[in-house]
Amino acid sequence: MERYHSSRNIVYQIYPRSFKDTTGNGVGDIRGIISKLDYLADLGINTIWLSPVYKSPNDDNGYDIADYKAIQPEFGTMEDFEELVAEAKARGIGILMDLVINHTSDEHEWFQKALAGDPKYRDYYIIRKGKNGKLPNNWGNFFAECPWTKFGDSEDEYYLHLFSKKQPDLNWHNPAVLEEVKDILRFWLEKGVAGFRCDVINVIYKNSLENGRPKPILTGSEHYLSTEGCHEILRTLRKEVLEPYGAVTVGETVFVDVPKALDLCAPERKELDMVFSFEHMEVDQVIVKWFKTKLVPRKLMACLTKWQKALPWNAIYFENHDQPRFISRFADLGPYRREASKMMAGLLMTLRGTPFLYEGQEIGMENGDFKDLSEVMDIESHNVHAMAKSLHLPAGIRWKMIQRTSRDNARTPMQWTAGPNAGFTDGTPWLKVNGNHTEVNVEAELADPQGVRAFWKTMIALRKSNAVLAEGDFRSVYEGSKVYAFERSKDGKSFLILCNLSSKTARIPAAARAWKTLFLSSCDAPLQNELSPFEFRLLEN
């Protein structure tokens, strides 16, 4: 079977809980996605990445899976999902499922059988005795919890969970786990999905459970980050399951540098097709993401260039369900929401790689306007706030951390209209709707031929139709305090891309002045030798 080709794919991530509710229960659902397929097709996307829709107790909003072969009832039925796949395919849109195989829910049948004493399923998880009255090791946890929780009624046995205590890690030393996952993949591929986004995929295999070198965060990570066992599993899954179906994979790979990324996605290694790197999302943080500093454009440019040069193909993105809205990261955004949104659209669609945009990004949605912690649902945010409180950080600082960085910033309901609940639901939304939906919404954007969505649509069409932008080489031309300039070229044809990443007018760098032919600008009246605030400009040779 021909593989699902990625060079001209435009991927749109949907966070189902927040996309569109058709039942009035305040939670988005699969029929809501079906109802908006024409909207997505009109935008020009040809792939949907669905955050998890599996049956789940929702401790971590679906990333704690209780049944890999069942649909979460609040999202709909398996028949609804099958209709979604068929209707999407009819519009030339493929579906990427979110694959979560580092852990299951503690409510999964496997873990429940392990708790009941079944030795077969006990070996599906990482269960160890404590040492001298202490925990099995000194490891850290991604959610700022203790990574070991007592196993059932046992006094001295614990199970490992790198994330929530309701997300016990699978034991990938057990061959039966691999066989179970192969079966799960085939189940969904038989239903016609195009591939998988693989959640925290490079931490699944633990080399050992020895104590780690003490670190401020994630002590012990040297024992499970991108291990050889993980690489072997990925090669096996690709050869035995994914390639026969022509499926594509993109990996969420934590703490990877360039060499580790190449080990995961270099074509000759036959593991993943692409990986999400995180470095460009961390240029405005101090040590950990919860401590933010001003976004320095030059740092972002340098990071983008580094990864563009290093990997044969990138999964390029600026927003997803785990990150604050990117335009909200600009400390000097001021009144330039529309301009910044257009500039980021132009930048994303002209970098080399497969573009991933996130629901609401195409209309310039911003961070949530939460007033206090009671309005935040994210488990990670609550855990971090509790940890910060235990460290005696002042209340104002604790709230500022959450307000700027909580994952819920990206999870506020999609803003379809200026009406009640932004047209997302007729009921009470599961998460607070951003108050700016009266101005920032799809209905308003569809009526504005010069709007943010219109510019996204233009850039998507150009990116899909133009070989230079879809497949051409990348060369950095200029990286300044405000302006990023790079060239894309293929078969003797070239484009020069200019991006002003600031709210100030910026001089066009000397290295770009030889390019005279304007192909496209996000600004209505481009200046001759300067870029307007947050302007995107495309020049051709």
Question: Quick one: which of 416, 495, 484, 490 has its CA closest to 453?
Answer: 416
Distance of CA 249 to the CA centre of its chain: 14
Say if CB 72 and CB 54 are below 8 A apart: yes
Helix (H) / strand (E) element for 498: namely: strand 493-500
Q: How far apart are CA 466 and CA 258, in angstroms?
A: 28
Residue 310 has which token pair?
């290093």
How far, CA to CA in Å, does 75 sit from each of 53, 72, 331? 7, 5, 37
Residue 327 has which token pair?
């335009």
Say if CB 537 and CB 531 are below 8 A apart: yes
The partner residues of 285 in beta bridges, in order of sequence, read: 292
Catalytic residue set: 199, 252
Go through the chain and tell me how many residues it has. 541
Q: What is the 3-state secondary structure (H, E, C) of 64-87?
A: CCCEEEEECHHHCCHHHHHHHHHH
Q: What is the 3-state secondary structure (H, E, C) of 365-408?
A: CCCCCCCCHHHCCCHHHHHHHHHHHHCCCCHHHHHHHHHHHCHH
**Taking CA 497 as the corner, what is the angle to CA 494 and CA 498, rounded to the nearest 5 degrees?**
150
Count other C-beta atoms under 10 Å from residue 259's C-beta: 10
Say if CB 72 and CB 56 are below 8 A apart: yes
Question: Quick one: which of 457, 501, 485 has its CA closest to 42?
Answer: 457
Q: Is 267 helix (H, G, I), strand (E, B) or coil?
A: helix
Say if CB 370 and CB 403 are below 8 A apart: yes
Q: What is the 3-state secondary structure (H, E, C) of 147-171?
A: CEEECCCCCCEEEECCCCCCCCEEC
Pairing of strands 195-198, 94-99: parallel
**Taking CA 219 as the corner, what is the angle to CA 152 and CA 329, rounded to the nearest 5 degrees?**
105
Say if CB 31 and CB 425 are below 8 A apart: no
Question: Quick one: which of 150, 115, 116 has its CA closest to 136?
Answer: 150
Q: How far apart are CA 135 and CA 156, in angstroms?
A: 9
Q: How far apart are CA 67 and CA 79, in angstroms?
A: 16
Q: Is 487 helix (H, G, I), strand (E, B) or coil?
A: strand
Q: How far apart are CA 97 and CA 48, in angstroms?
A: 9
Say if CB 526 and CB 532 are below 8 A apart: yes
